[in-house]
Amino acid sequence: MSTTITEQQRSKRRRTATEAGVQPRAVIYSRISQDREGKRLGVEDQRKRCRDLARRVGYRVVAEYEDNDISASTRTRKPRPSFDAMLADGKAGLFDVVLAYSNSRLTRRLAELLTVIDYHAATGIRFETVVSGSDDLSTADGRMTAQIKGSVDQAESERIGERVRNAAERRAMSGANHGGRRAFGYAGREHEHLGLRLGIDLLPDEANEIRQSAERLLAGQSLRSVVRDLNVREVPTVTGCPWTTVAWRDVMLRPRNAGLVVYRGDVVGGVAGQWTPVYDRDTHERVVALLSDPARRTTPGNRVRWLGSGLYRCGICGETLTCTLAGGKRAPAYRCPGHVQRDADQLDRHVTAALLNRLDQPGFLDTLRRPPDNPDAPDPKTITADIDRMEHRLAELQVALLDDDTDVPVIRAAIRTQQSRIRAREVDLLDARQPSNPLLSLLDDGPTVTDAWVELRLEQQRALLDLLAAVTIEPATHRGRPTGWKPGNGVGYFDPHSIRVEWK
């Protein structure tokens, strides 16, 4: 059980140590909330002033701890590894006192300060600062003074947060650039010599990469192939690193690409960004719809890996077939237990050949290009007009926030409601638009039906098969080797007559 050490006992120990020629052991803790350029000027200045304090009072500095570019405010949950390591070393008896530039460098959270007070009671380690003084945490008055200072620090941190949030909201309402690290496709400080405005003017080469990526994705190419091409051509990120599929997906999902302003994760309706868009809003929405499609998942698990899984049906019970490993060689096969079983490769090749033959028939592709005759289908123009009206009302509400006489909670509630309505209508708009057929997009560039089919992802091939055909697997007309079959004659066991392909 830990024992509380009084200040009188500590003073006596310091006098005894001084008389014996032993200096108290001190450590220095320095922290700065933001160091975007990585120059560490703030923490270096704190360390210098703490060393000066140690020399004045006769402490021997035995270690230094630093948390650079890490906030200690009430809103952050980011860990401070050096601070935690320092407390652990103190419990191990490695030092006697912690020196910091100010109380706010130690923490801006009142709850964390209370933990520091308990830590002092358990270990006897003192906390002294250059500009905030040194409170005797072993006395009630000393603890009260420390908590008053802590409350002031926390309030100032919260006021700073409010000012930052209000400034960010004002920038969003005016369509201004939000600052921070430059976005891929837009100018940064390193391009000032070109006369470009930071975060506003496009970098032609990078913007062209985004446009070409959108065209390739909408034409049916995979995100992985687009990223592979970027890295082969050594197109770097803004930090000079190779691209990952996650990083490039984030670039392609940015509302900024279409000139849209985002505040707290939502697009600000009725406000145009004060920067040059990479492409129009329609292109952006199509790219977002494509990359947000759950069918594009590439993670392991329940991902479908065969053309007919869940599409082919058993001719006896009508249930869908799944592909599993079967037979002595563990070859993949479609199965409906107790009814039918077919070699997966042979069955998929047979169905693919039938589908390509159908697509190659004269005039058939024109039927795919023709929109369906559905008089009850919602009109995209009507939905777009609704969204425009809602966004205009949203902009009026957002401007009202800047009025000193406004009822802020009521206006913010109205804004959230309006944003929900807009999102709902945007979903309606995506449903109303005719999805572009990836096969037709590829065929427009000149390849044959067969070449275009090979370029499609498996998910797209399955979607096209499901759109055009119903495949039923009947029991085989024979069992075992066909009559007259001999090894090496190039004829397999597959029975095409048991496969029924019906066109929708």
Query: Among 3-7, 66-70, 118-122, 393-397, where is mean pLDDT lowest?
Result: 3-7
Report the pLDDT value the prediction gives residue 50, as an integer from 0 to 100.
Answer: 92
Assigned domain for 36 exists: yes
pLDDT in tens, 369-404: 655 555 566 677 788 788 878 877 877 777 776 666
Residue 249 shares a structural domain with residue 145:
no
Q: What is the mean pLDDT of residues 267-271?
A: 63
Report the pLDDT value the prediction gives residue 501, as an integer from 0 to 100.
Answer: 92
Largest CA distance in the chain: 110
Any idea how long the chain is? 504
Q: How confident is the model at residue 136 (pLDDT cuts 50, 70, 90)?
A: confident
Assigned domain for 18 exists: yes
Assigned domain for 240 exists: yes
Angle between helical axes of 458-468 and 344-359 (0-180°, round to 10)? 60
Angle between helical axes of 408-432 and 281-291 (0-180°, round to 10)? 80
Report the pLDDT value the prediction gives residue 140, as an integer from 0 to 100.
Answer: 85
Interacting residues of 445 by C-beta distance below 8 A, sequence separation 6+: 219
Percent of the chain beyond pLDDT 90? Answer: 12
Q: What is the mean pLDDT of residues 82-102?
A: 90
Residue 392 shares a structural domain with residue 415:
yes
**For residues 28 and 83, what is the distance between their CA atoms, to the nearest angstrom?**
10
| Structure-block tokens of residue 385 | 């007009």
Residue 330 shares a structural domain with residue 471:
yes
Residue 49 shares a structural domain with residue 88:
yes
The CATH number given to whatever domain includes residue 246 is: 3.90.1750.20
The CATH number given to whatever domain includes residue 150 is: 3.40.50.1390
**For residues 347 and 312, what is the distance between their CA atoms, to the nearest angstrom?**
10
**For residues 209 and 203, what is the distance between their CA atoms, to the nearest angstrom?**
10
Residue 200 shares a structural domain with residue 345:
no
Q: How confident is the model at residue 327 (pLDDT cuts 50, 70, 90)?
A: low
| Three-class secondary structure of residue 128 per DSSP | strand
Assigned domain for 246 exists: yes
Residue 151 shares a structural domain with residue 19:
yes
User: For 268, what's the count of Cα atoms within 13 Å in the CB-facing half-sphere?
Assistant: 24
Report the pLDDT value the prediction gives residue 4, as an integer from 0 to 100.
Answer: 43
Assigned domain for 165 exists: no
Of 164, 129, 134, 160, the closest CA to residue 146 belongs to: 134
Assigned domain for 104 exists: yes
pLDDT in tens, 173-190: 555 566 557 889 888 777
Assigned domain for 176 exists: no
Q: Which has more pLDDT, 129 or 196?
A: 129
Whether 353 shows a pLDDT value over 70: the answer reads yes
Residue 13 shares a structural domain with residue 42:
yes
Residues facing 470 on adjacent strands? 502
Structural domain that includes position 53: 7-157
Residue 209 shares a structural domain with residue 245:
yes
Report the pLDDT value the prediction gives residue 248, as an integer from 0 to 100.
Answer: 92
Q: What is the mean pLDDT of residues 355-363?
A: 85
DSSP letter (8 states) at residue 339: T
Based on the structure, what is the number of domains in the chain?
4
Residue 53 shares a structural domain with residue 89:
yes
Consecutive H or E run containing 325 = strand 322-326
Assigned domain for 446 exists: yes
Residue 469 shares a structural domain with residue 321:
yes
Report the pLDDT value the prediction gives residue 96, as an integer from 0 to 100.
Answer: 92
Of 114, 141, 157, the residue that ends a domain is: 157
Q: Is the pTM of this model over 0.75?
A: no
Of 292, 326, 343, the residue that ends a domain is: 292
- Residue 139, Cβ neighbours under 10 Å: how many? 12
Whether 351 shows a pLDDT value over 90: the answer reads yes
Report the pLDDT value the prediction gives residue 252, as an integer from 0 to 100.
Answer: 92
- DSSP string covering 263-274, please? ETTEEEEEEE-S
Task: Report the 3 state secondary structure along 402-464.
Answer: CCCCCCHHHHHHHHHHHHHHHHHHHHHHHHHCCCCCHHHHHHCCCCCHHHHHHHCCHHHHHHH
Of 136, 157, 178, the residue that ends a domain is: 157
Residue 422 shares a structural domain with residue 466:
no
**For residues 446 and 440, what is the distance between their CA atoms, to the nearest angstrom?**
10
469-473, strands of its sheet edge to edge: 313-314, 469-473, 499-503
| Amino acid letter for position 454 | V
Residue 317 shares a structural domain with residue 286:
no
pLDDT in tens, 402-448: 666 667 778 878 888 887 787 777 777 766 654 456 566 556 555 67
Q: Which has more pLDDT, 4 or 232?
A: 232
Whether 482 shows a pLDDT value over 60: the answer reads no
